[in-house]
A = this chain, B = another copy of it.
Amino acid sequence: MNLNELVNRNKEYTKHGNVANYIPELSKANPNCLGVAVAKCGESVIAAGDSNIKFTIQSISKPLILIMALLDYGEEIVFSKVGKEPTGDSFNSIRRLETINEFTKPYNPMINAGAIAISSLIKGKSNNEKIERILNFIRKLSNNNDIKINMDVYLSEKRTGNKNRAMAYFLKDIGILEGDVEEILDLYFMHCSIEADIIDLANIARVLACAGKDPLTNEVIIPRRIVQIVNTLMTTCGMYDESGEFAVNVGLPSKSGVGGGIMTVVPGKMGIAVYAPALDKKGNSVAGVKLLEDISNEYNLSIY
């Protein structure tokens, strides 16, 4: 089956799940949409279904700012602030921060607490400079200079993000965050509100698939070690507390966002992105996950 057929076959799953509503702006999305884009190493991007809809990348920003923090500060400092272990808990759970163990830090950079910690490790003299650096990095990875923030979503998140605020103050209290908490949160809300379409995300995923290289110039944008770290963490922690199930059924490093997107890396082969905004209880796109299962099986892509 080709991509169009696979999209059609999974269209029915868009009826399941619900569009995110805890961030009011997100509830305006059309739950009937389903689209996929595939960017093979060395080929043009192809797409099927609703491929030109813009949505906010939300948690898909987490692996991207992790890459920047690793480039800015190096592995040792970054992993003194967050761990590398999956948690089994939901993405916005706070309780594990209170667990006494050998370290007291967020378990990994793919949950909210970890991504807030990572947000404090982006270099820049001001939040303006930091978000501009993030946007430019994503523009380069996606080969799209028009990438920008959706201001309505950003303001909606900032207004209602009290659970993230709770986490950030907790992290401040246990010494994980340096700098002003509200400023770090502001940067976090901004990069979650970056807008893209699946073509953009497939392009970004392709860089991670092709050993960190720009597909046109072959320039190394992301060093091999960082590619490996990020692909690994997307595999073990990228789909929230559904990462294990997803790994069994799809078997590819992926990161979902509550905006409805999923960015998927097929190491050595291609980048994939899907979009379908109705989410399951864990926060993952229902139809998006189903479509990725079909794609993985049809083209035999699982890394296991």
* Residues of chain A whose beta carbon lies under 8 Å from any beta carbon of chain B: 83-89, 93-98, 100, 102, 107-108, 162-163, 165-170, 172-173, 181, 227-229, 231-233, 235-237, 241-245, 247-248, 251, 253, 267, 281, 302-304
Which listed residue, B88, B162, B172, B233, touches A85 by the CB 8 Å rule? B88
Which listed residue, B89, B167, B251, touches A88 by the CB 8 Å rule? B89
Inter-chain pairs besides A87-B87, A232-B304, 17 sampled, C-beta below 8 Å: A85-B241, A85-B244, A86-B243, A88-B88, A93-B98, A162-B169, A162-B181, A163-B169, A166-B167, A228-B251, A232-B244, A232-B302, A235-B236, A235-B304, A236-B243, A267-B303, A267-B304
For A232, what are the chain B residues with a Cβ–Cβ distance below 8 Å? 244, 247-248, 251, 302, 304
For A244, what are the chain B residues with a Cβ–Cβ distance below 8 Å? 83-86, 108, 232-233, 236-237
Q: How far is the CA of A230 from the CA of B235 in the complex (A)?
A: 15
Q: How far is the CA of A100 from the CA of B281 in the complex (A)?
A: 15
For A162, what are the chain B residues with a Cβ–Cβ distance below 8 Å? 169-170, 172-173, 181
Q: Which 7 A-B pairs have the closest CB atoms?
A: A95-B95, A231-B304, A85-B244, A86-B86, A166-B169, A166-B170, A162-B173
Which residue in chain B gives the minimum CB-CB distance to A242?
B85
Which listed residue, B163, B233, B303, B304, touches A170 by the CB 8 Å rule? B163
Which residue in chain B gives the minimum CB-CB distance to A228?
B304
Q: How far is the CA of A167 from the CA of B102 in the complex (A)?
A: 24
Q: How far is the CA of A85 from the CA of B303 in the complex (A)?
A: 18
Q: How far is the CA of A237 from the CA of B248 in the complex (A)?
A: 12
CB <8 Å contact, B98 and A100: no
CB <8 Å contact, B169 and A173: no
Which listed residue, B95, B169, B233, B242, touches A248 by the CB 8 Å rule? B233
With A95-B98, A228-B302, A244-B108 as given contacts, are A87 and B84 in contact (CB-CB < 8 Å)?
Answer: no
CB <8 Å contact, B304 and A253: yes
For A100, what are the chain B residues with a Cβ–Cβ distance below 8 Å? 100
Measured CB to CB, the closest approach of chain B to A176, in angstroms, equals 11
CB <8 Å contact, B245 and A85: yes
Which residue in chain B gives the minimum CB-CB distance to A96?
B88
For A86, what are the chain B residues with a Cβ–Cβ distance below 8 Å? 85-88, 236, 243-244
For A94, what are the chain B residues with a Cβ–Cβ distance below 8 Å? 94-95, 97-98, 166, 170
